[in-house]
Amino acid sequence: MTARLSHLPNGLRVATREMPHATTVSIGIWVNAGARDETAKEQGIAHMLEHMAFKGTKRRDAQAIATEVENVGGFMNAHTSREETAYYLRLLPEHIDLGIDILTDILTQSTLPDVEIERERGVIIQEIGQSLDTPDDLVFDLFARACYDNHNLGRPILGTVDSVSNFQRADLSGFMNRFYGAGQMLVVASGAVRHDDIVSRIDASLGSLSDAKTAKRLLPVWSAGRQIATRDLEQSHIVFGLPTKAATAPDRFALMALSTLYGGGMSSRLFQQVREQRGLCYSIFSFASLYSDSGVFSVYAGTSASQANEMLTVAADELASIAQSVHPDEVTRAKAQLRASLLMSRESVSNCGDALARQIMLFGAPQDDAMLLAAIEDVDENAVRDMAAQLISGNRPALACVGPPTQLIDNDDLGARLTA
């Protein structure tokens, strides 16, 4: 599978991953602007704009956009993250012109009709309400706030009811005009495609697109905060975490291996020690949220209020233990999981497109799979142990909880367990 990247004269980047075995195409446009690029008054506007893109252009209303795609058996969707917004379609190769035309239309000719703004405002307010009523959604928003306080990375992607209620058409078009320009956008196609053909078609449709501002992002400061929301629930939903490397860090593969052996599967230390040995929870896992300039290494668990502190203590002790000693078999198993995950993801045209877009957004160029596999293979026990030691050294953890009233361990005391 060959990945290629071209630059159009206007600064727009076009990337493809040709997959000879594929019979479908995934094509999308990624914008290097997300929730962290909003002003304080714009909380949630990147997400609302993502919703509005499909709600009408100068040539198509919302129903026509959906009907034209589905008439040829296609699928369209979009997502907003903290650092990017993506709009994409999956369809058969013979309909690639339609896909490019619709993507071009919604991102350059959106009319943002007032009636659709009001309708979508109601939809998003319902979405926010659903998130607030879903404890294992809410706890992650609270955790982001505990990590970064008032920094943009600490704000919910959906925004708040107050912020969304106040957005007007001029606000949405203003955000689009600031960031939706050629230099901030990336077109990615994967599957049954040919690179030169896609570049030619994109040049014809978006080659005259003007440039826009480059997002200027403030470096986040670790807050090591604490966010507790009392709810009448059967379980306490808890997340704690520590600051870590950015997504581009050379030793990120050691971090991935650490997360995998610590809390990445049924053979992981967390699953075995917290669930299997002690029966303290049903679900527990570790994960790393990595951004262009920072990151967070975290643990989520759902447990009873009476056992929450024991769960946190055992989880902290296990991470501290890894900083002292790792068995070679654990690292070998973690690397096997990482290799398999990477290779399995390459069987999906959509996953390939997502991965390629993220690589170019972060590194400016595609990352060769052979290089990634070699980097995984180079991870050893020392690298994993050192990574765990770096995480716990001098860092106060952040903590969030949604659940019944309970006296959770103090952040400093939890930090002391990590370094004991």
User: Tens of pLDDT along 20-51?
Assistant: 999 999 999 999 999 999 998 999 999 999 99
Is the Cβ–Cβ distance between 325 and 2 less than 8 Å?
A: no
pLDDT range class, residue 2, cuts 50, 70, 90: confident
**Domain at 2-206: CATH architecture:** 2-Layer Sandwich (3.30)
The pLDDT assigned to 222 comes to 97
Question: What CATH fold (topology level) applies to the domain 226-419?
Answer: Cytochrome Bc1 Complex; Chain A, domain 1 (3.30.830)
pLDDT (average), residues 142-161: 96
Share of the chain above pLDDT 70, in %: 99
The pLDDT assigned to 296 comes to 98
Q: Can you list the alpha helix ranges (DSSP code H) found in 6-44?
A: none
Residue 191 vs residues 80, 82, 103, 199: alpha-carbon distances, Å: 23, 27, 17, 15
DSSP, residue by residue, 125-171: HHHHHHHHT-HHHHHHHHHHHHHHTTSGGGS-TT--HHHHHH--HHH
How many angstroms from the chain centroid is the CA of residue 263? 19
Q: Which of 94, 114, 91 is nearest to 103 (CA)?
A: 91
The pLDDT assigned to 394 comes to 83
Q: Is the pLDDT at 214 greater than 80, yes or no?
A: no
DSSP assigned state of 310: H
Q: Is the pLDDT at 102 greater than 90, yes or no?
A: yes
pLDDT (average), residues 255-270: 97
Share of the chain above pLDDT 90, in %: 96
Q: How far apart are CA 356 and CA 351, in angstroms?
A: 8
Q: Is the pLDDT at 215 greater than 80, yes or no?
A: no
The pLDDT assigned to 80 comes to 97
Write down the residue that tokens 């005259």 correspond to: 208
pLDDT range class, residue 235, cuts 50, 70, 90: very high
Tens of pLDDT, residue by residue over 314-361, are 999 999 999 999 999 999 999 999 999 999 999 999 999 999 999 999
Whole-model pTM: value is 0.94
- What residue spans define the domains of the chain? 2-206, 226-419
Q: Is the pLDDT at 113 greater than 90, yes or no?
A: yes
Phi, psi angle pair for 304, to nearest 5°: -70, 150
Is the Cβ–Cβ distance between 350 and 412 less than 8 Å?
A: no
The pLDDT assigned to 328 comes to 96
pLDDT-wise least confident of 148-157, 178-187, 210-219, 296-305: 210-219
pLDDT (average), residues 89-106: 97
Mean predicted lDDT score pLDDT of the chain? 95
pLDDT (average), residues 262-291: 96
Tens of pLDDT, residue by residue over 154-167, are 999 999 999 999 99
The pLDDT assigned to 216 comes to 82
Amino acid symbol at 259: S
pLDDT (average), residues 115-130: 96
The pLDDT assigned to 256 comes to 98
The pLDDT assigned to 285 comes to 97
Per CATH, 2-206 and 226-419 having the same topology is answered: yes
DSSP assigned state of 272: I
Q: How far apart are CA 199 and CA 16, in angstroms?
A: 9
The pLDDT assigned to 212 comes to 77
Q: Is the pLDDT at 306 greater than 80, yes or no?
A: yes
3-class secondary structure, 326: coil
Q: Is the pLDDT at 104 greater than 90, yes or no?
A: yes
Tens of pLDDT, residue by residue over 180-206, are 999 999 999 999 999 999 999 999 999
Residues forming the active site? 50
Q: Is the pLDDT at 211 greater than 90, yes or no?
A: no
Amino acid symbol at 411: N
